Amino acid sequence: MTLAENIKQRALFEGFNKVGIVGAESLADEGRRLEEWLARGHHGEMRWMARDVHKRIDPHEIFPQARSVVVVALNYFTPHQHQPNPGSGKVSRYAWGDDYHDVVKEKLLSLLAWIKEVEPSAEGKVCVDIQPTMDKAWAVRAGLGWLGKHSNVITPEHGSWVFIGELLLNLDLEHDHERIEDHCGTCTLCIDACPTAAITEPYVVDSNKCISYATIELRAPELPEEMDLAGWLYGCDVCQDVCPWNRFEQETSEIRFAPREGNVDVELEEILELTQESYAARYRGSAMKRAKLAGLQRNARTLTGLQDLQNLHD
């Protein structure tokens, strides 16, 4: 087998569900679409999205020696379901278990270590969301899936319940050139189901209207009055839940993505009673720490109606 074929086989051994290898070329077309999206203000207060756009477009800005990009997808679906009640808030499926950044990074570092054993001249850079890379664009280029109308990557085998990561390598490898055709067709279920009409047109999400953005990224002390959280405390999965391609979902083999106790539906009273110390202990190693304690408690107040009472008191 070629080195590229061996790397793919090893990636699957590490636990990834899909892998593709493409050239470390500029994402020029995808970059133009990103710049248009930013120009329309769809990134809201995520100012970091507008910084270093050139790094997102050109992988050499992150790893100058890059010659190839190994792109991986890791299924995170578990068959648990929300059991909401008035005293709890729903959590997005991706945050039920351990922080995916840690899990995917660990697997990619292990893959890189193996590659260096096989090819001593190899050097690489691991990228998992935190780095300024366009994960979804690389996944599409590598033939892992297509970009759905909800702006998530959809794989034929696992639907959209996948995490994406990249390994930039200084090696000239055999590249994949076949991409997966867009299979969304005339379906508009995700657009129609979005509680806040955040999918303003196919493939375009306005973060300012998005529940996930509001509950995770927005740092304002209060949520916009017009924002209906539809029962969500952290994130939102509605556009993925209604996607017909997610009927092909399969349970992940990664046990670290199994829900932590109380992480599928969270008791709002528990959130409101957290101190900085208990919050740190409760969400250590969880993606939910992204919202910060202030954000989680703001979301909980909104769901319980306490925000309105506080406003009246003020």
> What positions carry a catalytic annotation?
129
* CA–CA distance, 19 with 301 (Å, rounded to integer): 42
Task: For residue 20, give the 3-state DSSP assignment.
Answer: strand
Closest listed residue to residue 252, CA positions, set 84, 104, 71: 104
Closest listed residue to residue 48, CA positions, set 40, 56, 58: 56
Instruction: Please provide the DSSP assignment of 31-92 as one string.
Output: HHHHHHHHHTTTTTT-GGGTTTHHHHH-GGGT-TT--EEEEEEEE----------TTEEEE-
Of the CA atoms within 13 Å of residue 24, those in its CB half-sphere come to 25
Q: Which two tokens stand for residue 75?
A: 């299924």
What CA–CA distances, in Å, run from 310 to 228, 267, 290, 293, 302? 18, 20, 25, 18, 10
